[in-house]
Amino acid sequence: MRVLVTGCAGFIGSNLCQALLDEGHVVVGLDDLSAGTRQNVPAGVEFHQLDIRSPEIGRVFGGCGAVFHLAAKNCLPDCMEHPVETADINVRGTVRVLEAARVAGVRRIVYADTSAEYEGIGEFPSRVDRVHPVSTYAVSKRSAWHFCDSHSRLHGLRLTTVRYFNVYGPAQDFRRVVPPVMSAFIMKMLAGVRPTIYGSGAKRRDFVYVDDVNRFHLLCLRDPRTEGRVFNVGSGVNHSIREIFDAIEAQLRTGLAPVFAPDLPGEADVTLADLSESAALGWRPEIGLDEGLRRSIADIRTRVLGAR
């Protein structure tokens, strides 16, 4: 199948492109490189540097059997600081993607949703049917989802909503002002620098390795039971940020202690996925925390630090 991935130069998108290529699909990638890098895009992807808000994107949708829509502004503090731009990219950009898909006759779309949808709900594990987005980021993702839902109902687009928890693995963006915790810790500790824990380190996150997420993406293309539904994709267990530091330290043995800084605004205290819907399809996360960290460390050592 010819498959389009928006956000193909980002963390999850670039890993997804590789997984699709490995399955023998023809992969078309679209990204404006605002956060992702050209180096991330795997060889073999037909790459187009375009902003999802541009009417020009229509020309790359022709002949595609499915679209994975991942492009988004998604750094929480950045979104909070730039709400107009966040809405513009995440909402208007998504509508542009949906329209391009409709006009080109693409019938299948997978939307990259977020566990931030559960921010305002204090019950765990989070079930797919109760959401309460609060932050600028989460509200923008929710608003965009409503357009996906509406387009699927009005125009017969077969939509699957994949609600990721904290995805980690190779190609995580470590250059952000506040990088994802795993890559931030690993990068600093490999450089012999004490990493920063925001808050007390007690916040608990459901981390899921990117290859497990991609096994679910591939299932979406194969299994019609995924159509018209929302799925949590997490690991179903959570770890405190302090535990993550300790797990990385156990592998690297740097002897470094973390530095503590004030809490970041808008961050949930707990995330934890209820996986009953995705597990009912036979999907289960397979990569445990220690193995996922081992692979992430190896990738940063070879790909990031080795290239310098």
Ligand X SMILES: NC(=O)c1ccc[n+]([C@@H]2O[C@H](COP(=O)([O-])OP(=O)(O)OC[C@H]3O[C@@H](n4cnc5c(N)ncnc54)[C@H](O)[C@@H]3O)[C@@H](O)[C@H]2O)c1
Q: Is 60 in the site for ligand X (CB under 6 A)?
A: no
DSSP string, the chain: -EEEEETTTSHHHHHHHHHHHHTT-EEEEEE--SSS-GGGSPTT-EEEE--TTSGGGGGG-TT-SEEEE------HHHHHH-HHHHHIIIIIHHHHHHHHHHHHT--EEEEEEEGGGGTT---SSBPTT-----SHHHHHHHHHHHHHHHHHHHH--EEEEEEE-EEESTT--TTSSS--HHHHHHHHHHTT-PPEEESSS--EE-EEEHHHHHHHHHHHHH-GGGTTEEEEES-S--EEHHHHHHHHHHHH-----PEEEPPPTT--SB--B--HHHHTTT------HHHHHHHHHHHIIIIIITT-
**Degrees, nearest 5: CA angle 60-88-159:** 55
Exactly one of 3, 4, 47, 53 binds ligand X (CB under 6 A); that residue is 53
Q: Is 89 in the site for ligand X (CB under 6 A)?
A: yes
Q: Is 285 in the site for ligand X (CB under 6 A)?
A: no
Exactly one of 18, 86, 94, 114 binds ligand X (CB under 6 A); that residue is 114
Q: Is 205 in the site for ligand X (CB under 6 A)?
A: no
118, 137, 164, 209: which one is catalytic?
137
Exactly one of 5, 11, 183, 235 binds ligand X (CB under 6 A); that residue is 11
Of 3-11, 78-86, 121-129, 246-254, the segment contacting ligand X by CB under 6 A is: 3-11
To the query of whether residue 137 is one of the catalytic residues in this protein, the response is: yes
Q: Is 100 in the site for ligand X (CB under 6 A)?
A: no
Q: Is 166 in the site for ligand X (CB under 6 A)?
A: yes
Main-chain dihedrals φ then ψ at residue 283, nearest 5 degrees: -90, 135
CB 192 to ligand X: min, Å = 26
CB 257 to ligand X: min, Å = 26
CB 253 to ligand X: min, Å = 27
- Report the C-alpha gap between 204 and 219 in whole angstroms: 28
Which is nearer to ligand X, 210 or 221 (by Cβ)? 210
Total residues at interface with ligand X (CB under 6 A): 29
Which is nearer to ligand X, 114 or 152 (by Cβ)? 114
Main-chain dihedrals φ then ψ at residue 72, nearest 5 degrees: -170, 160
Residues in contact with ligand X, shown as a per-residue x/- string from 20 to 49 under the rule CB under 6 A:
-----------xxxxxx-------------
CB 114 to ligand X: min, Å = 4
CB 216 to ligand X: min, Å = 13
Of 7-15, 127-135, 218-226, 243-251, the segment contacting ligand X by CB under 6 A is: 7-15
Catalytic residue list: 137
State the residues that interact with ligand X by CB under 6 A.
Answer: 7, 9-13, 31-36, 51-53, 70-74, 89, 93, 112, 114, 141, 164, 166-167, 173
